[in-house]
A and B are shown apart, each in its own frame.
Chain A
Amino acid sequence: MWMVPTLLGIILIILGLLHAAPGDPAMMMMGIGSGGSSGEVSQDGVDYQARIDAFKKENALDRSFLVQYAGVLGPFNVKPDGHELFGGDGRNPYGGFLVFDFGKELLNKNKHIGEEIKKRLLSTTLPLALISIMLTYLLALPIGIYSANRAGMTIDKITTVGLFIMYSIPVFWAGLMLKLAFGKTGLGWLPVIGLHSRDAADMDMLPYLWDAFKHFLMPVTVMTYGSLAYISRQMRTGMIEVIHQDYIRTARAKGLSEKTIIFKHALRNSMIPVITIFASILPILIGGSLVIEVIFDLPGMGEYMFKGLLKRDYNIIMATMTLSGVMTLMGILLSDIAYAIVDPRIKYS
């Protein structure tokens, strides 16, 4: 119920921060930025301010904060070609997030942001995120449980040290080391950039899949190891806490097998912290990781958001950050649902 007002608040804050931050999309448009022209050709009466003003008017950047906020939300387009209610000429009356219109990039009117996000999500970010999440949980939960059951033993200590080392390794360093080790500078087993070879489109199914597997291996490893270490430690902590509860002692006293105790009685209750983490992992993974995308040259969401920030493209920033906000809310919702599943005592009304 509170998701909608929360989302409205998130959008308001993002827009507010954008306006408060220095830098201006109009400046970038003028080409004075990003290695653009110094404009050193003779000219008469070039009125920079007039051109900046025209750009702002065209993109409704000259409107009041509230009108811009309304434009972002929709359903009315507040630009000069927008709805008559907002002084537009009515050519494109509707727009904004409510009608799923993320607009076009400010500096490249050929590019629809919605399409670009979809492309990046489907081609790069989602496949990587899904594989990484699955791998993380598939590996982290057993490691955590195993470690908890052997708490204090040598194997637990070794696991703990190993996981802490993994958790401490910076992603950019791990990525570079993997590339050096498995790229041509090392064993030469794996490609170092992208998710497909240049000629992948011409490949048959099996070679294509093999090519994709080889390309995915390093980015997925780098995306996974950090969260794997963290979640397995959470799992271990949760499990240790639960197996010291009275009801577990009772179960043991009843003579139940250790397997039954762990998987039937302890596991669900010890999952609560791990599920909580899921709420925060989802938006991070969907939002993409700039560092990983840069190291492996992947066209993902992180890079897109960063590009928007560098160019002060308000439309890109609003769309990507709002999507991240939505994903955070979705993550929280999914966590809440999962709580109810693993813990029957939790009921939502």
Chain B
Amino acid sequence: MARTALLVLPALAGLGGLALAAGVTTGVPDEVEGPHEALVDEFHPNKGVAVEKAYGGEVVVHLSSMVEGLNNAVGNSAVATWIRYEVHDQLVLQDWEMWDYRPSLAESFENEDQLILRPEAAAKYPGAKAIGAGEKARHIIYGTVLETDGGYTVTGASKGTMLGKGQSMTVAAEDVQSLERGTVFTYYLPDNCKWHDGHLFDADDVLFSWEIYGNMSVEADETRFSFQQILAGEVVDPTTVRFVFEKQYFKALDVPGSMCILPRHLFDLNDPDNKTYDPETHAEFTKLHGAGHVFSQAELGTYINENPHNTDWVGLGPYKIVSWDDRTIVAERFEGYYKPEQAGYVDKIIWRHISDDNTAFNSLVNDELDYFARVKPEDYFGEATADSSFTDSFYKGYFYTGTYGFTGMNMLRPQLKDLEVRKALTMAFDWEEYKRTKYKNLATRVNGPQNYFGGGYNRDVEFLPYDPDAAEELLAEAGWYDRDGDGIIDKDGIKLELDFLYPTGNDASSSFGLKLQESYAPLGIKVNMSNLEWATFLDRMLEREYDLVNLAWVPPVESDPEQLFHSKWGSKDQKSSNMCGVMDKGVDALIEAGQIELDETKRHKIWQSLHRRIYEEVHPYMFGMNTPRKFAMNKKIRGFQSFKIAPGYAIRRWFYPAGTAGTRASLAKSAQ
């Protein structure tokens, strides 16, 4: 599935709750960090001392939330994705350092164009391929398409193409309905890759993994829409699989590329190999329905939804899950990994779920964890990480991803429908002061929705100034002033009284809300704090029953802003991430243009224009801070690198130095 921005509690992103003396600065990401090679052991106290890498040992990594399974089709969880990086593989992977998409499970891939023929002209081209059904049915010719004077020249490029590799044909312009660039992807797979249970991986597994999204009984609601953009898939041969998209889309490569591939022999009741590996379950069906039973979509879907291998994971990665309970997921080295040169260094990874951050930090210093990435500011800057019980065995550091906090303003409310009011709210708050006192300057202000480090972020957009007087004038221009002398400004009989909604237990949101209250009071704006438990909070937010809502986004390095700001998700009856109700034709046009623009440079320009329009002409958010993730790590483990792509680290690059007890010089255990 294509990467998605994640909605998180501000606490995850925030550093709030700590008031410090003004002027204390510990480091700010002023320099723009685009794709770059990540430093190794940047924060390790002995980073200058060269160490020899050894194989072996184990690491225990903290999980703040426990995942229900690793099958992304039936449960879309960011944490599951991070675990799958180690225990599974995907066709294409975005490089953590350079951000380009590279073949991973696929040995290579080819991207071709698609000519959609007019229905009446299809018969003229016997080689044309009929795909899709109903309204989406079409005849296509695909390959590398060159536009000529009279039409198009199509040259076959991929294996098994209709034209023959390197063969060309000419298509008259009048026979073509449309040209969709970069919409046909052909992936070439390895022939020696085995699942963790020893079964050979092939193209059927890939196709099956996509086909399940067409079965409405599969509980893939969170991810289905992404795969419905693919109109057709075909197995060319056991090591070649092809997907055809309906239309041009800038993230198309990432859709099948990051798809969670399932072992068909364990998830498909119709796979003849299924009974070999899951005789008990298969036998139950046979017993119930008799031999020769044709499975319904509901039965096939239920089999996937409730498949024990959603947790008892059989994957393709360098680590194999060996146990899974409420607290712990244990993965050990998979000796049969097909790319030994990319296998990790440690032999065992333990993901340990501890829900409470205080308990987790305490567990860390008690040697129950090796890595913890949710160190609270009071611990990070305080005695807890300065004490010898910590410094003897651990070190600390921080890294930035694109996470940013924001306060959404409900534009469907009469109080907030005027742009002037929304801008005035931003201008009446001293963001720089807040950054300095609450964040110790270890944060960067943002004013746009794209990842701060990505090419779509527009650094030329200037922040609205902190100017309470100008804010007051803006409010007055919009007709908001105190008519009845009660100290609260009003218009058309409505007072500017705002509910500030945030999830219970979130200190960062709470302290921010209180500061808003204090800042707005002199302007005659009343802020009512409203903290609600998460499910109720969501309910209120999605029903648009709020004025201000405080949250954070974790965007990938380049995200599609459609769900956040396109008008088709803006109306009150849409329970979507466009919770502010942005419905702006200019924004829509830019989003739609960006989505189909395949040229990265041009697309980034479009996102930058969108950024400017969102901030200057719509202003649905009070954009907050890009804050770092603060971590603590066992000093014995070396090789830590931080990345801008979540989770921001790669366990398979971590190692123990040579000479550490229980380690060895080479990958193979037998070579000890």
Contacts and interface: CB of A to CB of B under 8 A. Distances in A.
A41 B76 contact: no
B564 A40 contact: yes
A52 B543 CA distance: 14
Given A40-B4, A48-B575, A110-B308, A23 B229 contact: no
Contact of A38 (B228, B302, B367, B563): B563
B221 A51 contact: yes
B387 interface: yes
Contacts of B561: 40
Contacts of B60: 198
A176 B365 CA distance: 14
Interface in B1-48: 1-2, 4-9, 12
A253 interface: no
B486 interface: no
Interface in A182-198: 183-185, 191-194, 198
A34 interface: yes
Given A32-B542, A48-B576, A38 B535 contact: no
Interface in A6-57: 21-24, 27-44, 46, 48-49, 51-52, 54-55
A79 interface: no
Q: Find the residue from B9, B251, B366 having the highest chain A CB count within 10 A.
A: B366
Contact of A191 (B76, B305, B366, B536): B366
Interface in B554-582: 559-564, 573-577
Interface in B53-104: 60, 65, 68-69, 75-78
Nearest to A172: B358
A39 B4 contact: yes
Nearest to A306: B355
Nearest to A111: B68
Contact of B577 (A22, A38, A54, A104): A38
Contacts of A294: 355-356, 359
B311 interface: yes
B183 to A, nearest CB: 13
A297 interface: yes
A297 B6 contact: no
B534 A34 contact: yes
A193 B354 contact: yes
B575 A49 contact: yes
B566 to A, nearest CB: 9
Nearest to A193: B363
Nearest to B353: A297
Contacts of B7: 32, 35-38
Contact of B4 (A27, A41, A185, A303): A41
A233 interface: no
Given A41-B226, A183-B362, A109 B5 contact: no
B120 interface: no
Contacts of A38: 4-7, 553, 563-564, 577
B389 interface: yes
A109 B539 contact: no
Contacts of A51: 221
Contacts of A29: 221
A48 B535 contact: no
Contacts of B467: none
A144 interface: no
B539 A27 contact: yes
B542 A27 contact: yes
A349 B297 CA distance: 58
Interface string A68-98: 0000000000000000000000000000000
Contacts of A43: 225-226, 228-229, 562-563
A35 B365 contact: no
Contact of A310 (B326, B535, B562, B574): B535
A40 B564 CA distance: 7
Nearest to B561: A40
Nearest to B369: A193
A311 B326 CA distance: 16
Contacts of B216: 54
Nearest to B356: A294
Contacts of B77: 35-36
Contacts of A184: 365-367, 389
Contacts of A35: 6-9, 12, 65, 77-78
Interface in A292-312: 294-297, 299, 303, 310-312
B68 A42 contact: no
The SS class assigned to the B binding surface is: loop
Contacts of B249: 42
B327 interface: yes
B310 interface: yes
A341 B1 CA distance: 66
A176 B354 CA distance: 15
Interface in B349-402: 350, 354-356, 358-359, 362-363, 365-368, 387, 389
A193 B356 CA distance: 12
Contact of A299 (B307, B326, B366): B326
B225 A39 contact: yes
A60 to B, nearest CB: 16
B595 interface: yes
Contacts of B221: 29-31, 51, 55
A257 interface: no
B222 interface: yes
Contacts of A31: 76, 221-222
A39 B535 contact: no
Given A110-B306, A184-B366, A40 B535 contact: no
Nearest to A21: B536
A168 interface: no
Interface in B327-355: 327-328, 350, 354-355
A192 B574 contact: no
Contacts of A120: 326
A179 interface: yes
Nearest to A33: B538
Contacts of B602: none
Nearest to B392: A184
B129 interface: no
Given A27-B539, A51-B221, A109 B305 contact: yes
A32 B575 contact: yes
B199 interface: no
A122 to B, nearest CB: 13
Interface in B204-227: 216, 219, 221-223, 225-226
A154 interface: no
B540 interface: yes
A294 B535 CA distance: 20
Given A22-B539, A40-B577, 10 more contacts: A38-B563, A40-B564, A43-B229, A48-B575, A179-B366, A198-B60, A198-B328, A295-B356, A297-B354, A310-B535
5 contacts: A35-B7, A198-B328, A297-B354, A297-B356, A297-B363
The 6 closest A-B pairs by CB, nearest first: A23-B535, A43-B225, A31-B222, A38-B577, A108-B68, A37-B4
